[in-house]
Amino acid sequence: MKEVSVHHLYYWLSLCRVSPIRMAKLLEIYAPHELFERVKKDEKIGALTGEAQHALLKEYADADKLYASYDGLHKHGVQFLAFSDDAFPQRLKQREVCPPSGLYYKGDISLLNTTCLAIVGMRRCSHYGKENAFKFASELTDYNITVVSGLATGIDAFAHEAALKAGGKTIAVLGMGHANFYPADNQKLYQRICAEGLTVGEYPPQTAAAKYTFPERNRIISGLCDGVIIVEAAVSSGALITADRALEQGREVFAVPGPITSPKSAGTNALIQKGASLLSGTQDIINYFSYKNTKIPSILPALQLDFYEQKVYNLLVSGESGFDELIENSNLTASELLGVLTSMEVKDAIVRLPNNKYRVRN
């Protein structure tokens, strides 16, 4: 009879879908190897686990079977990091986090112990949200900060994308097993993060996404990070759960304010009202945590605008403006103005917004 290693014991525990809170209670009473022996001998473990969960634990309470199942992980290209392993991040071991028994991952596991910040938000985001997700994610990479998010559509995906685009690191925390990735729209991004960053989750590869897996996953997102940035959230948005978890875990919550007329910013505005930090620029976070800029500052070439470009630029400095409005104020023809605007866009002086609106790039 071979001895089951602690690493594998945690793997065994992770196979059984007991809620994180229950699992934490269970482990307060029994050490993992005690549990293993008890289940093996079919002894009662109190009223803590249900019939089905007990049966699941029982099925793999056999060393050979357990090892065989563990070796099967490589079929999915997935590796396992147990709670007991050295690489398991300390901050995730906090009691308030309800630490998972282990993490299934693909990619660079060392990222777990880097400085992390989460950027989350709603799926059906507006252009405003998209823009800010991009802005914060790409600017934070200058400070060697790893961007953590949930790889859902909308804000999450934009945050990951921006971090990769800026040459930074990113971690995607999954709410399902690696072999059952959802949503399909982000499949390509998922693969890219596996290769260039890290995808991680507490669920065995075959686990399908369910209603409860995403809120459960959110505690890991906030748990991994120093702070959480909520870019855009409606009042019923799942991103607010991440904010709640972050507060429970003692992480800082930053919220990006939005117009009071936009339902898509109602959630973040409410967070600010309740005391979350108002985030008006990347510098707010940097100052809060005293992060150091690791990137060699590139000297931005001064904007070189010609006469008409400068004229249009001056019109835009006071705020965004529509095409027709610009025509009226600049005395240029549609043809001339279009040429000027494109040229300025290419020079990175302005941004084109939906609905033929323009704004200076800050």
Partner 1 sequence: MFAKVKCFGLSGIDGFKVMVETDVRSGLPGTELVGLPDTSIKEAKERVRSAIKNSGFSYASQHVTVNLAPADTKKEGSLFDLAIALAILCATEQIPLIPASDGTVFIGELSLDGYLRPVRGILPLLISAAAKGFKRFVIPSQNAAEAAFIRGADVFALDSLSEVISFLSAPQGYTPVPPREFSAAQQGRRFKEDFMYIKGQSFARRAMEIAAAGGHNILLIGPPGSGKTMLAKCLPSILPDMTAEEAMETTKIHSVAGLLPAGEGIVTTRPFRAPHHTASQISITGGGAKATPGEISLAHNGVLFLDELPEYTRQVLEVLRQPLENKSILISRASRAVHYPADFMLVSGMNPCPCGFQGSSVKQCGCTPAQINKYTAKLSGPLLDRIDMHIEAENVSYDDIKGAQSEGSDVIRARVNAARQLQSVRYAHTGITNNAGLDSELMEKHCALDEKSEMLIRKAFDKLGLSVRAYTRVLKVARTIADLAASESIQFAHVSEALSYRCLDRR
Closest contact distance (angstroms) between CB of 124 and partner 1 is: 6
Q: How far is the CB of 53 from partner 1 (least distance, A)?
A: 34
Nearer to partner 1, 319 or 354 (CB): 354
> In this complex, which beta carbon is closest to partner 1, that of residue 59 or of residue 345?
345
Give the binding site for partner 1 (CB under 8 A).
Answer: 123-124, 127, 153-154, 183, 185, 262-264, 322-324, 327, 334-336, 338-343, 345-346, 348, 352-356
Q: Which is nearer to partner 1, 5 or 343 (CB)?
A: 343
The least CB distance from residue 267 to partner 1, in Å, is 14
Q: How far is the CB of 338 from partner 1 (least distance, A)?
A: 4
Of 40 and 352, CB closest to partner 1: 352
Q: What is the C-alpha to C-alpha distance for residues 267 and 280, in angstroms, rounded to an integer?
A: 16
- Give just the sign of the alpha carbon dihedral 213, 219, 222, 225: negative
Paired tokens of 49: 């686990």
Those residues with Cβ within 8 angstroms of residue 212's Cβ, 6 or more apart along the chain or in another chain: none
The structure tokens listed for 32 are 């993992």
Give Cα 9 distance to the centre of its chain.
29
User: For 185, which DSSP code?
Assistant: G
The CB-of-76 to partner 1 minimum distance in angstroms stands at 25
Nearer to partner 1, 52 or 334 (CB): 334
> Considering the complex, what minimum distance in angstroms separates the CB of residue 214 from partner 1?
16
Q: In what order do the strands lie in the sheet with 79-82?
A: 79-82, 102-107, 198-201, 170-173, 146-149, 116-120, 227-230, 252-255, 277-278
Measured from the CB atom, the residue of 146 and 265 that comes closer to partner 1 is 265
Tell the burial category of 3 from Cβ atoms under 10 Å away from its Cβ (0-12, 13-18, 19+): exposed
**In whole angstroms, how close is the CB of 266 to partner 1 at the nearest point?**
11
Nearer to partner 1, 250 or 322 (CB): 322
Q: Which residue has the tokens 């991680």?
A: 200
Helix 155-165 and helix 187-196, axial crossing angle in degrees, nearest 10: 40
User: Strands (DSSP E) along 271-311, which ranges?
Assistant: 277-278
